[in-house]
Amino acid sequence: MNGLSDLKSAGNRWMDDPEVHSLRAYLDANNGIRGLEVLEPADIRHAVELFRRDGFVVIANVLDSAQVEILSKGCAEVASEILALDDGRKGNRGSHRYSFGGSSLTRSQLHRPEWQMLLDIPVVTHVVSGIFGSSDYVLRSASGDFCLPGAVEYQPLHSDVRDWHDNGSTPFSAFHDPRGQLTIRDLPCPYVCVNFLPQDVTRLNGPTRQIPGTQHARTPIPTLDEEPEWMRLSTVCPAPAGAVMIRDVRAWHGGTPNVSDAIRSIPNLEFYAPWFREPIVPGITYSDYRKLSDHARRIIRHCVADSSETLVTGPTLRAP
């Protein structure tokens, strides 16, 4: 599907566009990874196996109905604050797409109680510990993203971590082999992203596309023009509210069109392996940190502002 870029600033007129209707019908008939395994919370060992094979895994029934409701309301409140700054819905991850972290002055939503709630989910603790082979991992950030109806374009495939380039590019590129023999893709998983689903993810509401097994791929990531159609349809759906999607951030992934009538949010927690670090921006006050469980305090210990510091929070529309 091409020619949808003219709809980026067209408000709700996208709903009546014939090309969008055609895209919606096509996605409804074809979208989604064939044979996608959605596990249950008891399948910890299998979850780790699938994660290592595919670079991601989906587990249902991780959040109960009360937690889903709390998270859904929290995401809606944060999204409302962000959207109040963007009447044109230009987004900061593409038209009608937003990063919860990139849209926060702290690059995180850890100051929000809804994201703090996610720190103590036993299934997540067990799977992440299994992936890293240790419980001594730490939180990188509490973030995620959301897309609005009318996000009719595909986000290019990308990876969330890379080898070190230079000091002028980004601080988030920590690995460097001066011999030029190893890349970050040759290593065990350096950090994982755990996305929590406060609503069903369907074929139509912007499911994440994941390309299985690409966490170790050294080949160049294809551009949108180069990407084959099967990759565009390689989306993690359907997946129910209350599920989690746990991702190796090196695996190729990207956003897809939301041609439904509702927002799609996937808040997350991101964790560094015990042996891997990049710069971490404080995301929670010391007083709020002291209110958390022992487990939560241990894993977020590098994300805490000093007791003498005032943590300034709020929305922003900078690029993530």
End-to-end CA distance of the chain: 27
Residue at 319 is within a domain: no
pLDDT confidence of residue 8: 40
Contact assessment for residue 248 and residue 215, using Cβ atoms and an 8 Å cutoff: yes
Residues of the chain with pLDDT under 50: 1-11
Beta bridge partners of 201: 239
Residue at 313 is within a domain: no
Residue at 320 is within a domain: no
Backbone dihedral region for residue 298 (phi beyond 0: left; psi -120 to 50: alpha; all else: beta): alpha
CATH number at residue 146: 2.60.120.620
Reported pTM: 0.93
pLDDT confidence of residue 16: 77
Residue at 318 is within a domain: no
pLDDT confidence of residue 21: 92
Which residues span the domain enclosing 89? 5-166+173-299
pLDDT confidence of residue 97: 97
pLDDT confidence of residue 171: 54
Residue at 272 is within a domain: yes
Say how many domains are in the chain.
1
Residue at 315 is within a domain: no
The H-or-E segment that residue 46 falls in is helix 44-54
